[in-house]
A and B are shown apart, each in its own frame.
Chain A
């Protein structure tokens, strides 16, 4: 047999090997969460807030954390999109391809991308102290927004960079101002916006360190932006820190709920993406 065919076979085996390794790893995590979490999962978990002594094995559930997490994710995703879309539009439509400013901005966002969330938490915490804010839902939304903006911008930007020059020219040729091209640009990068949103939601809902200082933790459901809010990752953390095995199992069911929320958002996101990207050229 020729060498190149042997080479091909070896490469294929390696590729399958890596895929299986990753898949096995993910399966293992999911299996552990299901094995320990599923028996502890009951209706109380998702419909009630923690009763007294919950973290020592008392009754109740983690509705506070579910609602808190959803508030923070929705709030920060909304704010993040509101801030990121204009940035991406400016970088790609207003600035020229070899603009220094665009280069520096992209570099900065790449760096921000890699900063750990605890640093964002600490940074936002100092701002909150300066503003005289307490740990609150608003603070949590603020820090998670900061955390996901680089993700939003860089992942949308990657798609926007592929924006065909001809498409912009065609729009200008109809007499459009730069601002008026936004309708065309948004439609063209819609799949990128959807992917960016999914990535951001995943990061936002799973972040524990950022919200620790800023949103705090509470057993009640926040009714205003000024009140502290619980989050699922912190709920997992506190329950996992308990010496009580039953409470630890509940931590796994909280993780299970978190995974389900991410799953639902992802599926919804994919469906919406398909709908929006049908016009893409």
Chain B
């Protein structure tokens, strides 16, 4: 892993770190963009083909082709408004709730097209644990936060629920901190604990993916580190897709990196390759902090 001079991991700071590398930028030409040839990996788990997404008349995602591997951490990086979060929301079709949204193309998960009209939307979402930017515990007790999803999917036995709650809280390292107050409101936890609770809540419904949308950006450095460590631990069992603004975070934990710009996948591949030897000029400039 590369090391960079440590600073408070805020969005702006990495740009400063790289600022000495700034060069004059050139206009990007269409040739610069290879429209994402996938990550060049076998056994991809989620496959995006020719995805175009429009909201009203605006073309948000342009011809995205992408493969996401299982049991790895894939970081989606790119400047604000490049469509990272939209892409993530498309994976579990939360984007459906947006007014005027329209998409073309396909996303295959385990060989099932999630846009197929026979595919049950709840099943897709169950497969994709979501961790949002700000932790969003359900308005319930700590216990019920974890048990809610399981109950919803038909688990009624108290004993089994207790077991799941304990197991999941342990898996995110929260059990020791909360085991004596499982019935207190989740909103009483610290923000870092809440985020771990949200992760545990997602894991309780047995997903295959973990989608994280800048999951650490609202957290303090220590909580943020904790979550990152969890991701590294959890990748043994899940495919983790991380949208991040913090390049340093991507450097620390990503196995694969997808760089997006203005709704297009500019470059995608193993983290080492992207960070050390980016093929596209745009990627290079972004990594150097020329634009954000």
Contact = CB atoms under 8 A, between A and B. Distances in A.
Given A166-B132, A169-B94, A169-B132, A175 B137 contact: no
A146 to B, nearest CB: 31
B138 A172 contact: no
A171 B126 CA distance: 10
Contacts of B129: 173
A193 to B, nearest CB: 13
Contact of A96 (B97, B137, B148, B201): B97
Interface residues of A, number: 25
A280 interface: yes
Interface in A155-202: 164, 166-167, 169-177, 180, 183-184, 187-188, 190
Contact of A281 (B92, B132, B137, B153): B137
Max count, chain A CB within 10 A of own CB: residue among B136, B141, B205: B136
Nearest to A164: B136
A279 B186 CA distance: 7
Chain A contact residues: over half helix, strand or loop, or mixed? Answer: helix
Contacts of B126: 174-175
B99 A280 contact: no
Most chain A beta-carbon contacts within 10 A, residue among B92, B125, B201, B202: B125
Given A180-B152, A279-B187, A173 B130 contact: yes
B187 A176 contact: no
Nearest to B187: A281
A177 B129 CA distance: 15
Contacts of A8: none
Contact of B123 (A171, A175, A281): A175
Interface in B127-173: 128-130, 132-134, 136-141, 148-149, 152-153
A171 B92 contact: no
Interface in A102-117: none
Contacts of B92: 172-173
Interface of A: 96-98, 164, 166-167, 169-177, 180, 183-184, 187-188, 190, 278-281
